């Protein structure tokens, strides 16, 4: 048990020390190389072989045709394990793991994203 005098000296010493915690929300920590975060889909590279769908252990990816030799990837981030097996399996490297890991959402429907529509950017599918 601390005595009052000893505790006061300990408090005063800690006032002049740097904090032991990181300042995460304000200063972003760079992710290491090969970090497996949110997936990026390159629509122009996809040939529609659906190897990524077959290899996904959680069935989080669905490849759908939207035109002649044109496909979109529907990814359920709530199911995704972020194992990047789909990235390794894709013969044309149409999928890539990004360092983006801040994916929390209040509504489950916002975790279902369609990649490759319109300009190739993420589009959230409300549900």
Q: Please state, for a pLDDT cut of 70, what percent of the chain lies above it.
A: 89
Q: Write out the two tokens for 48.
A: 């529609």
Q: What is the mean pLDDT of residues 57-77?
A: 94
End-to-end Cα distance, the chain: 56
Determine the 3-state secondary structure of 28 from DSSP: coil
Q: What is the pTM of this model?
A: 0.71
Cβ neighbours of 37 (radius 10 Å): 15
Report CA torsion sign: 111, 125, 97, 86. positive
Q: Write out the two tokens for 32.
A: 């290491």
pLDDT in tens, 79-126: 999 999 999 999 999 999 999 998 989 998 899 999 887 644 454 444
Local confidence band at 9 (pLDDT 50, 70, 90 cut-offs): confident
Q: Which domains does the chain have, with CATH numbers?
A: 39-120 (3.30.70.3270)
Local confidence band at 27 (pLDDT 50, 70, 90 cut-offs): confident
Q: Please state, for a pLDDT cut of 90, what percent of the chain lies above it.
A: 57
Q: What is the mean pLDDT of residues 10-37?
A: 84
In the chain the beta strands, taken as DSSP E runs, fall at 39-41, 61-67, 70-76, 95-97, 112-115, 122-124
Angle at 30 between CA 104 and CA 85, to 5 degrees: 65
d(CA 14, CA 26): 22
Instruction: Return mean pLDDT, the chain.
Output: 86
């Amino acid at each position: 048990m601390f005595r009052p005098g000893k505790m006061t000296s300990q408090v005063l010493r800690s006032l002049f020390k740097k904090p032991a915690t990181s300042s995460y929300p304000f200063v972003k920590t760079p992710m290491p190389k090969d970090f497996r975060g949110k997936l990026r889909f390159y629509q122009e590279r996809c040939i529609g072989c659906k190897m990524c769908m077959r290899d996904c252990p959680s069935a989080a990816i669905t490849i759908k045709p939207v035109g002649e030799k044109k496909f979109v990837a529907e990814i359920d981030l709530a199911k995704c394990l972020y194992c990047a097996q789909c990235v390794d399996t894709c013969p044309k490297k149409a999928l890539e793991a990004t360092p983006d890991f801040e994916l929390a959402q209040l509504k489950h429907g916002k975790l279902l994203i369609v990649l490759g529509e319109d300009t190739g950017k993420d589009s959230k599918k409300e549900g």
